[in-house]
Amino acid sequence: MRQLLISDGTTAAGGYTNNVLAAGAIDVVGLSSNGFTSLVTGDDIADYPAIRLVQGTVQGVNIVSPWIDGLSVTRWTGQSFDAQQAQSSTLTFATPPIAAGQVTVKLISANGGQAQFPRKSVTIDVSVGQAVAGPGGIVQNLMVALTGQTPAVIAANPGTDYAIVGADFAVAQYAGSVITVTGTIFNIGAGTSLSSFRTASEGLDGSNGTTLVVAAAATPDLGNGGDGNLIAELEASLQGSGRGYYDRVQLPVVPPSYADVTASYDLYKLSFNNGAEGNIKGVDNYREIFVAYPAGGAGQAYFEGQINPWITSTPGTFAAVNL
């Protein structure tokens, strides 16, 4: 079992109204004969042998986790937000050609799992003495071929990002003799993925006087998973499917979403065993709860103040997680 609780940063310090937690808050409550008894800083396993997590929602209902026995906790970790990073490569051209001919630049998607690799290949004619940059230059003409923009637009707007026509995994800009190619990052709304690409060329090995040097400026990186798009994807996957939802009464039924794709989240992970009889060991007795908080804020600090003393008092000798 896996569960994701997503806060909007609201603190749980305000408690409950008619047994409903404030929308967007996440509370840590102890097993008590008095119902939902919120932990206060310093409460540990001696005070409450088991806890559960409660998330308030705008629907006016609480989302709750299973009870977590302190003796069953197996993992307590966290990751601070680390932004995604798109791949970026520089294509540096040097010296005018000493022989007329053609030059070709290819961008080839290297994303895994593809039967065919999407690519963008452009070829331009060059003449003897043609400048690498400047009006009618090799770099500008390649930019025209890559982006579909007019020579006048390219010449007038150096340093501007343009989508590469026919390639959904990269954009291009230029400055002087350098074209910079930048891949995409994962965006659940736009349907883009974190891209990886390779660069190949023909006629640019110096045999006609012109050379191309490709250098990696940045490598693709999904970060630590706290990007709002990644949280939204995790939420959708745990709800059933990112492509649609269903229940046994009426189709389709779309569950509410609590992820904000514009937010930067810190992410906590709590793992524990379920000791109920009848479970298959190692299969359905292992549970994980993810807790996502917008980085920083009073709500997150309050949550850490509640849960860390309790977790660190359990037999697993876990360290406090402060993000």
CATH number of 88-218: 2.60.40, 1.20.140, 2.40.50, 3.30.70?
2.60.40
User: Region 121-132: what's the mean pLDDT?
Assistant: 94
Please tell me the number of Cα atoms within 13 Å of 210 on its side-chain side. Answer: 30
Q: What is the pLDDT of residue 280?
A: 54
Read off the tokens for 310.
Answer: 């309790």
pLDDT digits (tens, 9 = 90+) for 88-105: 999 999 999 999 999 999
pLDDT tens across 2-13, in order? 899 999 999 999
Question: Domain residues of the chain, as ranges?
Answer: 2-82+224-312, 88-218
Alpha carbon 101 to its chain centroid, in Å, reads 44
Contact 264, 224 (CB under 8 A): no
Pairing of strands 2-6, 286-294: parallel
Q: What is the mean pLDDT of the chain?
A: 90
CA angle 91, 95, 96 (to 5 degrees): 110
Is the pTM for the entire model greater than 0.85?
no
- Return the minimum-mean-pLDDT range out of 74-88, 272-286, 290-304: 272-286
d(CA 308, CA 44): 9
Closest of 197, 200, 199, 144 to residue 169, by C-alpha: 197
* pLDDT of 242 higher than 70: no
* Cβ pair 89, 199 in contact under 8 A: yes
